[in-house]
Amino acid sequence: MQPPFLSLTLKFHNLFRDDLLKNETFNRMYKNLVIYYFSGTGNALTAARWITKSAALKGLNASLIPVDRFKKPSFPSQEGKTLIGFLYPTHGFSLPWIMLKFMLVFPLIGKQDAFLLNTRAGMKAGRWFTPGLSGMAQLLAILVLKMKSFNIKGLLPLDMPSNWISIHPGLNEKTVELIIERCRSIVENFSEKILTGKRTYKGLLSLPIDIAIIPVAIGYSLFGRFILAKTFISSSDCGNCRLCEKRCPTGAVKIVDGRPYWSFKCESCMRCMNICPTKSIQTAHSFVVLIFIVLSFIPYSFWLSAIISKYLPGAPAVASNFLYDASRWSFKMLFIFIAYHILHFTIKNRSINNFFTYSSLTRYWRRYMAPGIKAFDFRQKE
């Protein structure tokens, strides 16, 4: 039996606590959600749409903004608390350059709550769903956003169906369906937390592996992505509809001499290859092999070491090693650029074109586009 004064105090206390809790939830609640996304084949866009749907159900004003060919990042002025999301695929264990650039030039808007979601290469082996690898796809973004005073509330790597069809066939419909269903429920749980102001950092679970593969990620960002940009060709089936040029997120595809040409701005996001109505865009695998063979026969390493030791005889080992590596890779890049130029003009010849088309694995492989996503979803706004 409690003395009457104690029961009264407890009642007051509970009343006060309930009010506090209500206030806390109220303060945490967002009024707006702004999602900036980059998506090659619709996986990140699909995840963005799931989150937006959950936000709309909670009564938030939600905006979905593609970063494709952005000129100046804009932040819509809104009343009330706003949560900002950045969604993008993982490319070469890093984030696509266009997304990194977008974050770097994003205006300083003070302490804002934000979350990151990077889609990765999800696959299925028997009964098991296999994950992709983030590398520095989140770590680098965290660094940039922290520099911009963002308050990071959530990190989610999401293993959507892999779209990297230059290196493997597109997944079959059933597998895609199962992976998508799994991801949808992961995103729904994530949205439930993030939209109500809770913190969730699933992305940190693979931190040791992510840190270990950072050197590979740096190699991809400095060289890999430029090399990949020079592996695309269009076959003789190309109807010159220019859809690849119109829908390219970075404006990297140009029509040169009546056929698409991929410049170094290409992110290898796989969009052009997968939206092409005649399936005429291929990865020229035999060109890659040819380049590899020729480069392994050119004695450029010998020349470079000779030049460095002649002109910088007393340079410390670290400096000459760095110079050697930098000039070796610059030479390779220049070589690939020239060889790709030659390829572009020689495939005008039907027999040469057929050789590179029919020796390409993508000619025989299934394509990939996230279910329900069409080329129209990637139209560029004026």
The count of C-alpha atoms lying within 13 angstroms of the C-alpha of 316, restricted to the half-sphere facing its C-beta, is 2
Which of 93, 150, 226, 287 touches ligand FMN by CB under 6 A?
93
Which residue number places its CB atom closest to ligand FMN? Answer: 132
CA dist 279 and 285 (Å) reads: 16
Tell me whether residue 204 or residue 326 sits nearer to ligand FMN (CB atom): 204
CB atoms within 10 A of CB 207: 13
Q: Does 247 bind ligand FMN (CB under 6 A)?
A: no
Minimum separation from the CB atom of position 370 to ligand FMN (A): 6
Minimum separation from the CB atom of position 57 to ligand FMN (A): 23
User: Could you say which DSSP state residue 283 is in?
Assistant: E
Minimum separation from the CB atom of position 60 to ligand FMN (A): 23
Binding-site string for ligand FMN from residue 163 to residue 182, where x marks contact by CB under 6 A and - marks none: xx------------------
CA dist 266 and 262 (Å) reads: 6
Tell me whether residue 132 or residue 353 sits nearer to ligand FMN (CB atom): 132
Minimum separation from the CB atom of position 216 to ligand FMN (A): 8
CA dist 290 and 343 (Å) reads: 11
Minimum separation from the CB atom of position 284 to ligand FMN (A): 15
Q: Does 39 bind ligand FMN (CB under 6 A)?
A: yes
Tell me whether residue 83 or residue 269 sits nearer to ligand FMN (CB atom): 269
Tell me whether residue 89 or residue 154 sits nearer to ligand FMN (CB atom): 89
Q: Does 119 bind ligand FMN (CB under 6 A)?
A: yes
Instruction: Say whether 316 sits in a helix, a strand or coil.
Output: coil
Which two structure tokens, joined as six digits, stand for 339?
A: 């060889």
Minimum separation from the CB atom of position 87 to ligand FMN (A): 8
Q: Does 282 bind ligand FMN (CB under 6 A)?
A: no
Minimum separation from the CB atom of position 322 to ligand FMN (A): 26
Which of 49, 91, 124, 153 touches ligand FMN by CB under 6 A?
91
Near ligand FMN by CB under 6 A, which window of 55-63, 130-138, 203-211, 329-337?
130-138
Task: Judge whether 193 and 85 are in contact, CB under 8 Å.
Answer: no
Q: Does 85 bind ligand FMN (CB under 6 A)?
A: no
Which of 35, 233, 266, 269 touches ligand FMN by CB under 6 A?
269
Which two structure tokens, joined as six digits, stand for 99?
A: 């997304």
Which of 52, 54, 138, 162 touches ligand FMN by CB under 6 A?
162
Q: β-strands 200-201, 82-89: how paired?
A: unpaired
Closest to 180 (Cα-Cα) out of 380, 371, 32, 381: 371
CA dist 157 and 207 (Å) reads: 12
User: Could you say which DSSP state residue 278 is in?
Assistant: T
Q: Does 41 bind ligand FMN (CB under 6 A)?
A: yes
CB atoms within 10 A of CB 329: 15
Q: Does 252 bind ligand FMN (CB under 6 A)?
A: no
Minimum separation from the CB atom of position 213 to ligand FMN (A): 8
CA dist 229 and 300 (Å) reads: 23
Task: Judge whether 69 and 111 are in contact, CB under 8 Å.
Answer: no
E strands, the chain, where?
32-37, 61-66, 82-89, 113-125, 128-130, 151-161, 200-201, 232-234, 253-256, 259-262, 281-283
Minimum separation from the CB atom of position 161 to ligand FMN (A): 7
Tell me whether residue 4 or residue 208 sits nearer to ligand FMN (CB atom): 208
Cα dihedral across residues 206, 271, 364, 360: positive or negative? negative
Task: Judge whether 369 and 275 are in contact, CB under 8 Å.
Answer: yes
Which two structure tokens, joined as six digits, stand for 310?
A: 């002649």
Range 360-379, binding ligand FMN (CB under 6 A)? 370
Q: Does 249 bind ligand FMN (CB under 6 A)?
A: no
Site of interaction with ligand FMN (CB under 6 A)? 39-44, 89-93, 119-121, 132-133, 135, 160, 162-164, 228, 268-270, 370
